[in-house]
Structure formats: structure tokens, C-alpha cells
Amino acid sequence: MKQKITMNHTEKPYHVLIADDADQECCMLKTAIHQYSKWRLVGEVHSNDALMAYLQGEIPYHNRSQHLLPDLLLMDAILPGGQAPGVLNWVRNHPEMTMQVIVLGGVFMSDYCNHLIQLGAQAWVRKIENPDLLACLINNIATQLH
């Protein structure tokens, strides 16, 4: 991980958005996220187009009372229609987006990981297919957020 992840120490829920095209990984992430009472899953998208529509508040995500902006984006490095660098560049060019981004990937390539960190990702995490290990990973992230 790049740095300690910080969270606003208020009593409000911590909003998490998942962007991943693999149903099994989304299910495991949701299960792990629901272990934390202060974490609230605000959405799940399965493509780059849907992620960008969500972040930009476009239809069908235009109602911000239903589709809250996330404090944390857990995103697959490669989504149908785009990759993490494009999303990170967009986030960097929109300073009003204060969310933290953790990129999940299947293969660890140090140059690519370093590039994502330089673009603004808080961390690159290798995808974990074991639900117990994924819960441990989410626990580590939650610990750093508090």
C-alpha cells in the first residue's frame, strides 16, 4: 500500500462504491464491507461507462440522494470499456471528488502499480479469491480508515 488512508472522523457513514465486472468478486467485497457498521455500500457498477456515469451523476445515477458519491472507490484495474488510469485521471482533474481509490488487480506489475499510485490511487491490491483473505484485506483497509 502507498500510504495510510485517512477518513473524516465524523459519525456519518463511510460510503463505498464497488466497480468490478466479476459477480463473485463483487459478492465477496459486499460481504466483507457489510462487516463494518459505519461502512455503507452506495453502489455497484460493472463497466467503465457505468462507473463514469455514476461519478458524473448521469442517468440513471443522477439522483444523488439515491446514488451518493463514495468516500472510497474499490475498483477493478480493468473494466469493460476502460481501465483504472482513465478513471484516476478523471478523478484527478475533478478536485471536488474527494474519494479515495483502491485499485484491485489480478497480476502485480510494479511499474503499472507505481503508475496508478502516481495518478492518485491510494493503493494497489492484488485480487484475492479466498473470501477469508478478502475479509482480512477489507479489515486492514477499515483499520487504516479509522
- Number of alpha carbons in the 13 Å side-chain half-sphere of residue 79: 28
Predicted structure pTM score: 0.86
Supply the pLDDT for residue 146. Answer: 55
Residue 28: pLDDT above 60? yes
Are 57 and 66 spatial neighbours (Cβ–Cβ below 8 Å)? no
